Homo-oligomer: A and B are copies of this chain.
Amino acid sequence: MMLYSKHKKYLVAVDCIIFGYDILEKEVKLLLIKRSFESAKGKWSLAGGFVKAEESLDVAASRILHDLTGLIRVFLKQSYCYGNPDRDPGARVISAAYWALIKIKDIDKKLSERNGAHWHSLNQLPELIFDHNDMVVRALKELQMQVKIKPIGFELLPQKFTLVQLFDLYEAICQRTIDKRNFRKKLLAMNILEKLDEKEKETSRRGAFYYRFIKERYLKLKENGFDFDMDVN
């Protein structure tokens, strides 16, 4: 114990990069917070908080997300641990960054607004405090990598969606144009979507069929060695 006690202790925080998708504006958005305390009061920040004695890092991230949005059981993934000595001028704080994927319409809007939270388009982010912009850049890279190999894009869409909506989501996440035919071919070949009897008719007169992601089928395929693959040009 002696060897433990002679070492310095630091505050440990969790910061959450909360991704949402605006299906009408076809934009990936981030839920940011106007910081209400020093240091950097009044500046935009990721949602964050300090880790409590009884909490793991994962639990702290879930708690922070729940306090802000009212959501539970959200897709949440640790990104990277940031620990430069001077990253926060208020104190030495080591921060584990997590990224979350949520459906914008699912959040408790009143709760999040009361906490000073607002959605910002990824393409027009304000300057964030400390190293939070770096956190966003890294998390976005990880998201771009992960949507190629895991069916996590569906976390950002409603239960039912058209193929065009899914395609638009992928273009928005990857921040580039994607070959539409190749995308559709790869997607349907995986056989993890169910075509519904219902059409989305607001965007075009003919309408487009809704689909849903069949998670059970995906999990079964995966058990048998199947790899999700949407690595498209």
Contact = CB atoms under 8 A, between A and B. Distances in A.
Interface size class of A (residues with CB under 8 A): 20 to 34
A20 to B, nearest CB: 25
Contacts of A12: 9-10, 12, 83, 94
A41 to B, nearest CB: 10
A52 B93 CA distance: 13
B50 A7 contact: yes
Contacts of A39: 1
A33 interface: no
A25 interface: no
A96 B78 contact: no
A35 to B, nearest CB: 10
Interface string A1-30: 101110111111000000000000000000
Interface of A: 1, 3-5, 7-12, 37-39, 50-57, 78, 80-85, 90-94, 96
Given A4-B90, A57-B81, 14 more contacts: A7-B11, A8-B11, A8-B52, A9-B9, A9-B11, A9-B12, A10-B12, A10-B51, A54-B85, A56-B84, A57-B83, A81-B81, A94-B94, A94-B96
